[in-house]
Each structure stands twice: as structure tokens, then as C-alpha cells.
Amino acid sequence: MAGGKQDQYAATFGGVNYMEFFANDKVIVNPLRVKEKWLHELENNMVLFFTETSRLSSSIIEKQRENVSNKNQNSIDAMHSLKEQSQMMKEALLRGEIDKIGQILHYGWQHKKNMAEGISNPMIDHIYETAMNAGATGGKISGAGGGGFMIFYAPYTNKYNVIKALNELGGKVMRYTFTDIGLTTWTI
């Protein structure tokens, strides 16, 4: 699938996992045993924001593919940095270093923007800067970028300042909760 299959695996398995994807279509899903108190702290400090804009993610993903095919070193380096970011995130979660999450998200955001044109734009940059100025320590856009949802890490009471600042931009701060169960089906 264009853009990978990580979202489908995350929804299917639920919980906090470290997923490894291999070129031969092999996938290893490693459940992480993160202490419950750390997950509560993480959930409390995250702010989910809907930009109320949409985009055609397939065009952004196509630009990423072209960059790789054309051996665009800036784009390839950015992808390697995002892989490194996932390892940093795993280590921070397992060690309970929850306040490092913002810095790790910020690190990833700086690199993700280099993967392809269209991941960010002036509106998204403004939203990101607004959240950071209000007390977030990092964030990212979900999916391919260009619009949709953004998530920010805002420790302590900074969360309330970030929510207030984001609400003034016209998007929508959304409620959410973590879940440790994956896809559930049933018949009637």
C-alpha cells in the first residue's frame, strides 16, 4: 500500500508496539511492556489537534517514492533519521523518560519535512510554531502530512496553554485515549 502498512498493524494489534518491517514483507510486532503510570503520564501530556484541512496523501507519498528512486540523499537521510527516531522513542518509553518524548517528536518533525515537498506548508508550520511557543516540546503531523491531524507533547500544565493557543487557530483539539486492545470483531 502506498505509505506503508504500519497504521493497519497498529489498529490490528493495539497497545504500544515496536514494529519492524522487512523488504521480504516480513513484519515483527514487539509488544512493549511500558509501565502503566508512564502511559498515563504520556496520554495526559499529549494534545491531538485536527487541522480541519485535508490533503491527497497519495501525491505526497508519490513524491517520497520519487525521491528514493532518484536517490535524493536529503530525503533518504531523513528516512534513516525517522528510523532512528523510532528507536529513540522505544528506549524513552521503556525507561520511563516520558518528558523526552517531546524532544524526540521534534527531532522527527525536523527530518520528516525533508522527505518530500508537501509534508508541511505555511499553515502547518504556523500551527507547529504556535504549539511550541505555548509550551509544547515537540510534535508531528500524522500520516503523509499536508493536513489532517497533528499531535504535540506538552508536559505539566503546558498542555492547557497549548490547547488554548491551538483553539484560537480555528482547528479542533480532539479527545482521545490509548487502548491496549486491537481490532475486535463479532457477529450477531
- The CA angle 58-112-172, to the nearest 5 degrees, is 75
Nearest-angstrom CA–CA distance, 170 and 2: 30
Select which of 7, 77, 125, 180 is catalytic: 7
Residues in the chain, how many?
188
Return the C-alpha cell found at 159: 498542555
User: How far from chain centre, in Å, is Cα 7?
Assistant: 11
CA-only gyration radius of the chain, Å: 17
Nearest-angstrom CA–CA distance, 80 and 68: 12
DSSP state for residue 73 in the 8-state scheme: H
22 SS3 class: coil
Active site residue 125: no
Residue type at position 183? L
Long-range contacts of 81-87 (CB under 8 A, 24+ apart): 81/107, 81/108, 81/111, 82/108, 82/111, 82/112, 82/115, 85/111, 86/18
Active-site positions read 7
